[in-house]
Structure 1
Amino acid sequence: MPLSTILFGILLSSAYGAGFHLFRGGSLRRMVLFLVLAWVGFWVGDTLGWLLGWNFGAVGLLNLGMATLGAALFLLAGDFVSRIKLREENPRRK
């Protein structure tokens, strides 16, 4: 894969992560989480799309449709998991 394709993918997935952070809000730590989730999901979606032969929205060697879907799924799942709060143990139950 050419460097220009990789850079375009990084730029686009970073925009997905930053946009999701603007939409959902949160701290700097959550922004970093969203960026990492978008990067990983983008490249997993791209790779999975090529491996399965699901080729929609291809731009050169980048399977943009599947990459976008992968980033969206990772971002939604990561946001859901990051908002789960652990219950505090009741001190009276000991």
Structure 2
Amino acid sequence: MPGPNFVFAFMVATLIGAAFHLIVGGGARQLALYLLSGWIGFTLGQSLGNVLNASILQIGEINIVLASVGALLALIAARVFSSERPTGRA
């Protein structure tokens, strides 16, 4: 059974991904991409906070600020790399 820290982190990362989808828009595939990107980015941000021993707005074991920044950066990267680009042909 997952611990309360994992459940809280999962909920926050899911909320960030869902809010990004609400703001940016898109279909079900984009929602899945944004949720996955939010989870991965949140985990990477949390790991970076642990490595740097940073404790900015820490709730329990979760470093909310760095983990949220990681999630937002991952979401922006997912949006940029998944957007359709014009082919340049007429």
Q: Normalising by structure 2, report the TM-score.
A: 0.90
2:42 matched residue in structure 1 = 42
2:33 matched residue in structure 1 = 33
CA distance in 1 between partners of 2:33 and 2:48 (Å) = 22
1:12 matched residue in structure 2 = 12
CA distance in 1 between partners of 2:58 and 2:84 (Å) = 35
CA distance in 2 between partners of 1:47 and 1:13 (Å) = 14
1:68 matched residue in structure 2 = 68
Cα displacement (A) at 1:84: 4.2
What is the number of equivalent residue pairs in this alignment? 88
CA distance in 2 between partners of 1:55 and 1:84 (Å) = 38
- In structure 1, the residue corresponding to 2:54 is in which secondary structure? coil
Name the amino acid aligned to 1:43. Answer: T
Structure 2 residue runs of 5 or longer lacking an equivalent are none
Structure 1 residue runs of 5 or longer lacking an equivalent are none
Deviations 1:7-42 (A, max 9, x none): 000011000000000000001000000000000000
1:81 matched residue in structure 2 = 81
CA distance in 1 between partners of 2:65 and 2:82 (Å) = 26
Deviations 1:39-85 (A, max 9, x none): 00001100111101222011011111110010011011111111142
- RMSD (CA atoms): 1.5
CA distance in 1 between partners of 2:66 and 2:75 (Å) = 14
Name the amino acid aligned to 2:85. Answer: K
